Chain A
């Protein structure tokens, strides 16, 4: 009996941290919603929710791919560059129609993903450096293809960016469908299981006979394709191709969303619902500070604190 009472104190602390890691992000979103409904004027309107959701949709889409990569104990720094590349290529091939342009974008993105994946899986380069090369080079290629901002006047692209079904913008629908798809892949498919096994221990996965190289390459291709989708959607919303600044710092936003959402950087576990909530949390935090006329510097400092708090809560969980 005495032993049991002695052991409750440390156990509770672990339990609190565990709870925070799993549900903290939802609690954070809920708290921000309540605070905003209470103190922010005009917060509780369909228009405002639509604006916030449309802004966060590209981040969510990129973060989905990032979550898969982080699940394999990797990281993909090239996602912002892929968004810029998608914007350039869209602008170049839009003359042939939207669908052909999208196909070429997918081709470019798949090539970037293949290069990343090959460096990581075949050559054995650390993910952070492998994708760093294309983070630098990819934006360079995007700028070589299209040196500056270009206005795009294409009705089908415009409707992709600003159209809606029953009041719900396409951007949000696409992000939702992709989130469900990725969650399904992670939870219910062999590929998802293999991905998590590799993240848990790559040598063990290799010894168990899993197709480690193929899975890794596919994961990086998936990440690049999702980033390209986000790039096209952002371009459609802007109705302009902006390879100079589109996707800048997107890799950081995506990693933040994934980490805040409770996916450990050490791999082996992926939390898709948490990732979506993580992106929403950062968006709400930024929106709250902006709506109360607090300067952007506060947003960045707040974001930094949220990141550190999230990894601190995740500390010691997953594998060492």
Chain B
């Protein structure tokens, strides 16, 4: 039986393009610490996907999966997500497994107002979320706000000691 024909093309980077390509890619930009940070590949748990700038925890098998409802230590920034061909080939994501780095990201919980110095954690705060949000008692402190920009947060990672 023949495959179904593709009836729609959604890629916004196919002309006529659907995004401003001249803007900075802010899903994750490491401002300090690229040279010394540990970029470690980890297998991705079955069914999980990650984008650059999201965070992953390691399950008992050492595979990357999305965070649960409480912020825990051992939650790592995703440097290279599953949306790339190399990840598809290896079945792995690249995590930043050292700290501190200073990073800017447009992937954060916009449901809070942040101030410089606020602690951040990473937990599931809604369908599909795997990015920094406001820290609350009981959560591991995973980052601290360094600057609040329009559309992005700058934070230093703390390693998540509980």
- Please indicate whether A and B come from the same complex rather than being unrelated chains: no
Spell out A's residues near B (CB within 8 Å): none
